[in-house]
Amino acid sequence: MNLRPAAEADLDALSQVHRRAFTPGWGPEEIADLASGPGAFGLLVEDGAPLGMILCRALAGEAEVLTLAVDPDARRRGVARALVAAAAMTARSAGAQAMFLEVAVDNHPALALYEAHGFVRAGRRPSYYDRGGGIYVDAVVMRLDLGDGSL
C-alpha cells in the first residue's frame, strides 16, 4: 500500500475512488476545481489500483477535510486512518493549528473513524445534506487540535 501526494495526473484515479465511494461521486473536473483552490492538497493510496483519497485545504492557520473516500473493496484495512493521519501532518506542516470537517450524523463508519483519530464534535449544521425526496440530514462539525506548530 503506497500513500503519496496526488498530482494533476491522478485526477482520474481520485475520481474513480470517489465515484466508488459516493453516489454520484465527483468527476475529474470537479476534483480539479477544488484541488486548484488556495491551500488545497490531495493524498492518494494505491496498491496497483487506487484505493483511497483525501482532499483538504489548509489556509490561514486552519485546515478542512473536503472529502475522504475509500473503495468499498478496500475498507477496514486502515486506508482512511493512514490518509487522515497523513493529511493532519501535512496540514500541520502548512501551519494549520486545527482541522475541521463535516460528516453526516448517520455516517457511523466515518464518525467512528474521526473519533478514533481524536476529532471532537464541535457543532451541528441542521439539514446540511440533501438526500433527495425531501430528506435532509444534519451534519456534525468535527475539530482536531493540531497544536500550535511548535515541535
Give the nearest distance from C-beta 5 to ligand COA in angstroms: 19
Write out the binding residues for ligand COA, residues 70-129 only, by CB under 6 A: 70, 75-81, 103, 107-110, 112-113, 116
Q: Is 19 in the site for ligand COA (CB under 6 A)?
A: no
Question: Angle at Cα 81 formed by Cα 101 and Cα 46, nearest 5°?
Answer: 110
Dist CA 42 CA 112 (whole Å): 22
Judged by CB under 6 A, which of 14, 21, 88, 144 binds ligand COA?
A: 21
Write out the binding residues for ligand COA, residues 53-72 only, by CB under 6 A: 68-70
Q: What backbone phi and psi angles, to 5 degrees, belong to 3?
A: -115, 125
What burial letters (b/e) apply to 73-95, b meaning 16+ CB within 10 Å? ebeeeebbebbbebbbebbbebe
Q: Is 34 in the site for ligand COA (CB under 6 A)?
A: no
The number of residues that bind ligand COA (CB under 6 A) is: 20
Closest CA to 6 of 113, 90, 62: 90
In the complex, the residues that contact ligand COA under the rule CB under 6 A are 21-22, 68-70, 75-81, 103, 107-110, 112-113, 116
